[in-house]
Amino acid sequence: MAEDRITEMGTVISGKHAGLTSTEEITLFD
């Protein structure tokens, strides 16, 4: 489903940015 896919992508992006960048950048993808 589209919603599951969006949630999964959001989780991956958040995980990437949590590991590599500052909290400020994570907020941009919120």
Closest among 17, 5, 20 to 28, alpha carbons compared: 17
Q: Copy the structure tokens of residue 5.
A: 């896919």
Q: What is the pTM of this model?
A: 0.29
Q: Is 29 left (phi over 0), alpha (psi -120 to 50) or beta?
A: alpha
Q: Taking the domains of the chain in order of start, what are their residue ranges?
A: 1-30
* 3-class secondary structure per residue, 5-20: HHHHHHHHHHHHHHHH
pLDDT per residue as tens, the chain (30 positions)? 678 777 777 777 766 655 655 556 656 655
